[in-house]
Structure 1
Amino acid sequence: MRRFLLVLLMLAGTVTATAPLQAQASRPNIIFFLVDDLSSDLLKYMDNTRSLADNGTRFANYFVSNSLCCPSRASMFTGEHPHNTGVLTNEGADNGGYPAFERHEGRAYAPALHRQNYRTGYMGKYINEYPVGENFKVPVGWDEWHVVGGAGYNERDYGITDYVRETGIKRFERDTDTYLTDRLARTAEDFIERSRRQAPNRPFFLQVAPFAPHQRVPYQPGQVEPRFPPAPRDRPGGEFPQGDCGGSGCPTIDVARELSSFDEDTSDKPGWVRRAPLGDNVVDELRTDFRNRVRMVQSVDDMVGRVLAKLTAAERDETFIVFASDNGFHLGQHRLVRGKGTAYDHDVNVPLLVKRPGRTGSGDFVRNEIVQNVDLFATFLDMAGSGSADRDGRSLLPLIRNQDQPNWRNTALVEHRRPQGTAADPDFDDLAAATPSYQALRTVNDLYVEYSNGEREYYDLKVDPLQENNNPNKPRVGQLAGPLRELAGCRQNCWAAAHVQGG
């Protein structure tokens, strides 16, 4: 049982309802937890985080626009697909990273929220290659800025910016001792306290973006420090003999049983996926990796609990809490050893939970519409009362309130531009370098992928939800190829292009 679970259970309602909720009159606070590489299979081990769905809304079909960190985050900040942001990889030399994103900062959601009189704070991981150092730049729209560079992947011995607009503090610090996710929890608590003191009559927007559970960078096999480094208290010999796995016994967690399609026959797949069965040594490594990822997300779950426990009852009545991941991750599914970058659900279908302000009414809602990270820009501005902010996405606020939207999209676009794959990329691994560029459509019933090398994949999800039997010659493919080309090339009409016949 996690340390802050009791607090959240006391806050959570127990009534399940289906009726739509009414809009609230005042501008609420917004807290956005954006986690790095958290696949949906880890959510079952995160009690505090799962409780956000109590008197909240869970989106079962939330898909990222690109299953790589930087392009996905750029889509969230701007509300646009990667082919419209131009942020295609993690590295500036390869049409990605901060050099590609910087020009968008003035049109991201922070400046828009600031114009609505929100007090804004950002902490944790921002965009790959953002320069963290003594002369750091605070992007427009942020009142607080506590950002960590690439050393944050190791969770220790990192530099962090410290900027608070009202006090004039602007400094760069090194921290060699504090586990980073724990420091972000404390910094988020401090932001809430400062908001009460510095701006008691302004709503706040707080974004907390831990690096966990991303793997260490760089990592060399054989090192004592694990590839996925949990907090010391959550490791074997910490507070529990076998480590903390969120209430489950760590030795009983077996990746080969936990993850669907683990080591499944890939003879039906495109050439880049087809490979021999995983060997015993590889399975043992993945078993260790998965247990450490479960242990690693306990600190994320603690962070969620600490931040929510910091809110007063009155603040909980006035606050949206959003939890999402920038992309998923695979560990042996379809014989893909470690990584992301694919269009399979384990990489692109990630958690999105929204806990609603307490005074908007009770009810646990599950929405099955196709939603994407390009919708978050419009959603945050809609929550803030700024009106329509449509770009490639649309506001999720009506769905969060359980209000049906008859003309909602029925198709998600997933894009991937094959990275050059230099060692400077924190997501560099053999798989990321080998995945060809592709464009994909995902509906409730279909996954269709076209690769730049001419190969294709099609899965009828009604009969093959685990995407194990590729059948690119089915007649349905002919109905999807044209809409995919239209959506992958959209500029101003992306919403209309996301409505596919039979989707």
Structure 2
Amino acid sequence: MNKPLLFILTTCLAIGMYSCQQSANQKKKHKKPNIIFIFSDDHAYQAIGAYGNKIAKTPNIDRIAQEGAIFKNFLVTNSICGPSRASLLTGKYSHKNGYKGNEGKFDVNQQLFTRLLKEGGYQTAWIGKWHLGTLPGNAFDYWNILPGQGHYYNPDFINQENDTIHIEGYVSNIITELATTWLDKRKEGEPFFLVVGEKATHREWLPDLQDLGAYDDKDLPIPETFYDKYEGRQAAADQDMTVDKTMRLKEDLKVHADYEKNGIYNRFTPEQKKVFTDYYENKISKDFDSKKLSGKSLVEWKYQRYLKDYLATANGLDRNIGKLLDYLDQNGLAENTIVIYGSDQGFYLGEHGWFDKRFIYEESLRTPFVIRYPGVVQAGTNIDQHVLNIDWAPTLLEIAGVKVPEDIQGKSFLPVLKANGQNVTTRKASYYHYYEFPQPHHVYPHFGLRTERYKLIRFYGGKDSWELYDLQHDPHELHNLYGQDAYNTLTDDLKKELNLLIKQYQDEEAASVLSKQI
């Protein structure tokens, strides 16, 4: 072969190989990312190492934050379990998706972003806690869910054949096993979206056997607001969610628990019950009896027990998050899989003397949210912008390259992620509306807004009242400024902004309340 011809053939071959490589690189570059959303229940941001807790053992949640981004102002729109899940699925406020309080029947046939993901080529699954009163139906390709609240030990699961299956073990471990089994069986080559719905850290806070007593050597600090007197805050004073009066020694703190009549303990195997009762009867209950506590000493003992069980329950949650991260690493999925960890809302860990959630106050309004997004979000990113849980759906749709329907009320925060939190504005005020009353916990219905500095709240349905806080000078929300002459102009401006948000989100109930002056 002559040299000119050889040169031409070699050049053509090189160009062809380069073209193929470029094509492969382009294909890889535009490959849709997988998404895993680990969604816990009642896990407070202030119980996580990445959010500043020096005692809680959350290395795997912390790892997601360190390798990606942590949101400091991720807010919910209705601080209660089921409605938060409904907002995730619909991208809409409770009054629009029809699910305002727990124990109702969520309309699973309405527009859900997971169906749109399916149409966009994603395999979809929800495994674990669902808690929406209805079955997922065709909203996912695969689902296997806990009925209702589910159980910590030897739980039942409902599968797509509507069969209830009893599985022995601890719930967080079982959910992880079911999730990795689905990942093993999925169609390779197609992107997937998986929700891992955790039961932890919901009441009554039953830790895995290996985590019993994990924090017994710690003297946990009492929150600054633990002995709040609720001056000037009628709704805060009239609730039923205090560690002092509402938290139960037997049911919540397992002091001489009724192991025969209480259904959560009847699920134990004999081996599990022995380990559990040895700890709570022979250590905790005996310690309580020996102290003969009353008054301030009793309520502080209750607080210590509550928080130690709560943190120990979170240990099992975090350990299983680590198992999922390890699975991604071991199966070559980590580089193209977005991993999200979030809770359905915030939670009180003794602040204001409380447990539970519901209020628009900071501890229940703010929820933990960390995300690892390889190739997009820089490691160690801090995001301070206001983001809402109705923003989850449009963000995930935009990430997946699926058009966001116009009736979704949330706003994608993908631009914030791409900018690593820099120079991107989200919203100057965030709107909130809570409904469930009078029980449980007797928290009055209320709505309001939060800006970067201020919070304005309207309680109704009982002791109608307004509250106003300057979060810069009063971050614990102890001093209600509403009605003070110095704040009248600010109050008027915030009321105007509140009215605009009510109109924007078409909240007719709130509009009706505001039409009746108090």
Same-fold call, TM cutoff 0.5: yes
- 1:360-383 per-residue CA deviation (whole Å, 9 max, x = no partner) reads 464321111110000000011111
3-state DSSP class of the match of 1:124? Answer: strand
- Is 1:487 matched up with 2:487? no
- 1:109-128 per-residue CA deviation (whole Å, 9 max, x = no partner) reads 21011111111111111133
How far residue 70 of structure 1 moved from its aligned partner, in angstroms, is: 1.3
- Is 1:325 matched up with 2:325? no
Give the alignment of 1:241-280 within 5 angstroms. Answer: 243=214, 245=215, 250-256=216-222, 259-273=223-237, 279-280=296-297
Number of the residue aligned with 1:133:
none
Asked if the contact 1:270/1:456 (under 8 Å) is kept, the reply is no
Q: Distance in 1 between matches of 2:159 and 2:83?
A: 26
Number of the residue aligned with 1:110:
114
Supply the AA of the counterpart residue of 1:387.
K
Give the alignment of 1:60-459 within 5 angstroms. Answer: 60-91=72-103, 97=104, 99=105, 101-102=106-107, 104-130=108-134, 137-150=135-148, 152=150, 154-163=151-160, 171-175=163-167, 177-195=168-186, 199-216=187-204, 228-236=205-213, 243=214, 245=215, 250-256=216-222, 259-273=223-237, 279-312=296-329, 314-335=332-353, 337-357=354-374, 359-360=375-376, 362-389=378-405, 391-402=408-419, 404=422, 406-421=424-439, 428=440, 432=441, 434-452=442-460, 453-459=463-469
How far residue 284 of structure 1 moved from its aligned partner, in angstroms, is: 1.3
Supply the AA of the counterpart residue of 1:293.
Y
Q: Distance in 1 between matches of 2:125 and 2:41?
A: 18
TM-score by length of 1: 0.77
Distance 1:115 1:287, change over 3 A: same
Q: Distance in 2 between matches of 1:450 and 1:203?
A: 44
3-state DSSP class of the match of 1:120? Answer: strand
Distance 1:405 1:438, change over 3 A: same
Asked if the contact 2:235/2:444 (under 8 Å) is kept, the reply is no
Q: Give the gaps of 5 or more residues in structure 2.
A: 1-27, 50-55, 245-295, 509-518
Asked if the contact 1:112/1:141 (under 8 Å) is kept, the reply is no
Alignment identity in percent?
A: 23
Number of the residue aligned with 2:62:
50
Supply the AA of the counterpart residue of 1:160.
F
Supply the AA of the counterpart residue of 2:437.
P
Supply the AA of the counterpart residue of 1:161.
I
Asked if the contact 2:388/2:410 (under 8 Å) is kept, the reply is yes
Q: Distance in 2 between matches of 1:80 and 1:188?
A: 27
Number of the residue aligned with 1:498:
none
- 1:92-120 per-residue CA deviation (whole Å, 9 max, x = no partner) reads xxxxx2x2x22x44411210111111111
- 1:125-155 per-residue CA deviation (whole Å, 9 max, x = no partner) reads 113323xxxxxx5522312211011351x31
Q: Distance in 1 between matches of 2:243 and 2:211?
A: 32
Aligned residue-pair number: 413
Q: Distance in 2 between matches of 1:493 and 1:415?
A: 9
3-state DSSP class of the match of 1:440? Answer: strand
Supply the AA of the counterpart residue of 2:184.
E
How far residue 419 of structure 1 moved from its aligned partner, in angstroms, is: 2.7
- Is 1:470 matched up with 2:477? no
Higher mean Cα deviation, 295-304 or 454-463? 454-463
Asked if the contact 1:414/1:439 (under 8 Å) is kept, the reply is yes
Q: Distance in 2 between matches of 1:188 and 1:207?
A: 9
* Structure with the higher fraction of residues in helix conformation: 2
- 1:427-469 per-residue CA deviation (whole Å, 9 max, x = no partner) reads x3xxx2x211100111111111111133111110111112122
3-state DSSP class of the match of 1:193? Answer: helix
Q: Distance in 1 between matches of 2:101 and 2:355?
A: 18
3-state DSSP class of the match of 2:201? Answer: coil
3-state DSSP class of the match of 1:150? Answer: coil
